[in-house]
Structure 1
Amino acid sequence: MLVLRSTEMAAVDKEAIELGYPEIILMETAGRSVAREIDTLDELDNQSDIYFLIGGGNNGGDGLVAARYLKEWGYKNLKVFLLKPGENLSGINRDNYNICRLQDVEMEVIDSEKLNEFRKILNNADIIIDGLLGTGITGDARGLAADLIGIVNDISVNVLAIDIPSGLSLDFKSETVIRADLTVTLADLKIAQAVYPGRYYCGEIIIADIGMPAKAYRKIRPDYFMLSNQEAARFLPYRTETGHKGTFGKVLIIGGSAGMAGSVSLAGEAALKMGAGMVTIALPAAIEHDVNSHSREIITEALPDENGKISLKALDKIINISNKMDLVILGPGLGQGKEIAELVENLLKKLKPPIILDADGINTVRDLEQLDKSQKKILLTPHPGEMARLYDTTIPEILENRFDYIKDFVEKTGQAIILKGADSLIGLSEGEIFINPTGNDGMATAGSGDVLAGIAGGLVAQGLDLEKAGIVASFIHGRAGDLAAEDKNRYSLVAGDLIVYLAEAINSIIK
């Protein structure tokens, strides 16, 4: 699905109107969609106290339309509180204000001198409908709107936001933002809603279809997307009934070191659980027994080692093994050091299959030229610390400018990347960025990244290209974490739980 920036959303609205879709019809459809969502809430009935907070922008107009419909549908105790007098509204907002008056919708202008009294009024609501500020805001909320946002956040009342929580700007510069329990966003998801901290303020998000014509999107070229459940199902590789382990692909994992046998085991088990036909782990001879003792279905290839790490002497053997494989995962638990860096540099040059470069494989990269697309296809899977090391900068700098760093990486290398985090970003070679909607903080645990690399490897082995595999693997990985958290809790998750819930996560997509 599309994730739009403020300029893109404005361009779509403008194009729709120019195509002959009247603005008043857009608002009517949007307001009715909001009213319909309110009407379906189980905790409300026609006796519920529903209070609308209405500003002077278009989402305030959407709120006036929603109030009209609820009044028509028999809701008896709804009330509209206006940020400014209705006579001062303009255009179609003024028209909808006048229609509300004709329908005897109870309306009142908020008195900035009596905010303590107003707080008590709002505290009696069953739900507050937030239509104060829309997507046009830049910077932080100010004045009476900011005061009202503070009051709403300070009381214990459910909040439904129209389109976007008031104060949440699409340029990520806002700090004074309503915390909604539910956001009914109109037409398309907005970028600030898709990533943190904006996702935190939105609560559950419902995307309301307001009948925006397809032609309205023809003049924009969106860069941001988010995978839906239906799209994830379409991306999954096809499995033929007559397939065998060769059909479903062979994955080679190169990694492991003394004390880090679990990394390659987790990646290997995840690849198998995702559907790969066969998984081989090339690892230091010193840890082969450790891996074999708890990974029964995985084949191991013992390599010459030195101080518990793969020796550079193993290079030719690794190349020979890799020539029979469909994909290589390079890096889990590999360790660091001068010889490991030299080994990885040689492997990046000489390996023929596509590569998922993970963990210590990333940490050995000297500069982005080593990852140039002209040599082979690589999918990088760094967490912010590894990305910071790659760019010789700080983790806060990466987190503050994630989209910029992903775009820079893709432009310079032509490769795909998963920048892991609370809302992982997947950058594709043509410049598109997918924002992953699944996952939770319980997954912030050692080994979780190894599982992700294995899931992606299993998908590539079955025929999915690296870029689609990165998108789908992130989605399934997060879904497995969400299912595990539901059954257990977010404190107690470990990486192995993600593998346990992987089958259930796939079932939730293909059901």
Structure 2
Amino acid sequence: MQRTAAIRLSGILNTVSKRPLVSNIPTTATLFHKKRMSSFSVKTLGAQEAIELDKELMGPEGGYSLDQLMELAGLSVANTVYKVHPLSNGERILVLCGPGNNGGDGLVAARHLWHYGYKPTIYFPKKGKNEIFERLSTQLRGLGVPFTEDYEAALKETDHIVDAIFGFSFTGTTIRAPFDAVITAMKSSKAPTTSVDVPSSWDVENGPPSEGPGKDFQPENLISLTAPKHLTRHFKGRHFLGGRFCPPYLQEKYGLDLKGLYQGVDQIAELPAAE
């Protein structure tokens, strides 16, 4: 009897010792972060400020290349999709890319999403002139990621949409083909959408258009890059900030208080909803 009891006790102790010590009690740091985030406010930037900030990041003092900024931006986009649309919600991701830098961010995000276990498909009808777009496309083809010309069929077969068509450099109200029809179809899709930096067709300063294909377009998620833009005052969904690379001297120059925003190794942070 004593031997049997000893064996049982030994088995229980071995089982307990192999279990990970996970505590559901939030740490002081976590509680402080949640309290700070509940009232966190990041200054928004207009189109010209965003352009100037990018130039400074890629200038002599900033030292970044376009490749680096696209890589970091695309990583933030991929992490946002992983956050709002886990694999259990469906692995098919349609990435809609435009000819500007936003399209490059979308291509990078697709590569990371493939490595996360998703099955991205790319719609990229008009490539930018910079050779970086061809290199990013080559990387995706090497992974077997398909490019499609039939966005309508792709929208019907996807579980989640990444809107990387237009960024903060978009101006005017006229949207040329094929993107006018693409935005209309995206807006009508039942699949949730994550927009990159700017919901496509929105004015950076004033938000959604009052007419045209983007009228009433309100994506479920938005990932702002480096800093939110003025348009976020009109956004109603889940809002994230990414691009964890802005040096302190530029944060100070542009009035960005990002201290304590990101936790641990996180590349994105969810911001409070606009009031």
TM-score (norm 2): 0.69
Equivalence for 1:31: 74
What is the letter of the counterpart of residue 95 of structure 1? Answer: R
Q: Is the 8 A contact 2:92 2:158 kept in 1?
A: yes
Q: Is the 8 A contact 1:26 1:210 kept in 2?
A: no
Q: What is the CA deviation profile of residues 16-66 of structure 1, one whole-angstrom value per residue up to 9, with x for unaligned ones?
A: 111211221111011011111212235534952111101111111000001
**Distance verdict in 2 for CA 1:212–1:14, change over 3 Å:** same
**Distance verdict in 2 for CA 1:438–1:161, change over 3 Å:** closer
Distance in structure 2 (CA, Å) of the matches to 1:132 and 1:21 = 23
SS in 2 for 1:130: strand
The number of residue pairs the alignment matches comes to 216
Structure 2 counterpart of 1:4, from 45, 55, 76: 45
**Distance verdict in 2 for CA 1:193–1:228, change over 3 Å:** farther
Equivalence for 1:132: 165
Deviation at 1:74, TM superposition (A): 2.4
RMSD in angstroms over aligned alpha carbons? 2.8
Which has the larger displacement, 96-105 or 151-160?
96-105
Identity %: 26
Equivalence for 1:62: 105
Higher normalized helix content (fraction of residues): 1
Distance in structure 2 (CA, Å) of the matches to 1:128 and 1:42 = 10
Q: Is the 8 A contact 1:181 1:204 kept in 2?
A: yes
Q: What is the CA deviation profile of residues 360-416 of structure 1, one whole-angstrom value per residue up to 9, with x for unaligned ones?
A: xxxxxxxxxxxxxxxxxxxxxxxxxxxxxxxxxxxxxxxxxxxxxxxxxxxxxxxxx
Q: What is the CA deviation profile of residues 457-491 of structure 1, one whole-angstrom value per residue up to 9, with x for unaligned ones?
A: xxxxxxxxxxxxxxxxxxxxxxxxxxxxxxxxxxx
Equivalence for 2:18: none
Unmatched runs of 5 consecutive residues or more in structure 2: 1-41, 262-271
Establish whether residue 48 from structure 1 lines up as the match of residue 81 from structure 2: no
Equivalence for 1:212: 246
Equivalence for 1:379: none
Distance in structure 1 (CA, Å) of the matches to 2:85 and 2:93 = 14
Runs of 4+ in 1 over 6 A off after TM superposition: 225-230
SS in 2 for 1:129: strand
What is the letter of the counterpart of residue 82 of structure 1? Answer: F
Q: Is the 8 A contact 2:251 2:257 kept in 1?
A: no
Structure 1 counterpart of 2:57, from 16, 32, 36: 16
Deviation at 1:120, TM superposition (A): 3.9
**Distance verdict in 2 for CA 1:22–1:215, change over 3 Å:** farther
Equivalence for 2:134: 94
Distance in structure 2 (CA, Å) of the matches to 1:68 and 1:102 = 10
Equivalence for 1:186: 225
Matches within 5 A, 1:78-477: 78-84=120-126, 86=127, 89-110=129-150, 118-143=151-176, 144-172=178-206, 174-175=209-210, 176-177=213-214, 178-194=217-233, 196=234, 199-200=235-236, 203-217=237-251, 220=254, 439=275
If asked which structure has higher relative contact order (CA below 8 Å, sep 6+), I would say 2
**Distance verdict in 2 for CA 1:121–1:6, change over 3 Å:** same
**Distance verdict in 2 for CA 1:24–1:17, change over 3 Å:** same
SS in 2 for 1:99: helix
**Distance verdict in 2 for CA 1:213–1:141, change over 3 Å:** farther
SS in 2 for 1:168: coil
Which structure has the bigger radius of gyration?
A: 1
What is the letter of the counterpart of residue 185 of structure 2? Answer: I
**Distance verdict in 2 for CA 1:4–1:103, change over 3 Å:** same
Q: Is the 8 A contact 1:54 1:63 kept in 2?
A: yes
**Distance verdict in 2 for CA 1:124–1:101, change over 3 Å:** closer
Unmatched runs of 5 consecutive residues or more in structure 1: 111-117, 231-435, 440-511
Q: Is the 8 A contact 1:50 1:129 kept in 2?
A: yes
Q: Is the 8 A contact 2:85 2:160 kept in 1?
A: no
**Distance verdict in 2 for CA 1:170–1:41, change over 3 Å:** closer
Q: What is the CA deviation profile of residues 156-181 of structure 1, one whole-angstrom value per residue up to 9, with x for unaligned ones?
A: 11011111111112142734434210
Distance in structure 2 (CA, Å) of the matches to 1:140 and 1:8 = 21
TM-score (norm 1): 0.39
SS in 2 for 1:2: coil
**Distance verdict in 2 for CA 1:204–1:40, change over 3 Å:** closer
Distance in structure 2 (CA, Å) of the matches to 1:127 and 1:133 = 18
What is the letter of the counterpart of residue 229 of structure 2? Answer: K
**Distance verdict in 2 for CA 1:3–1:228, change over 3 Å:** farther
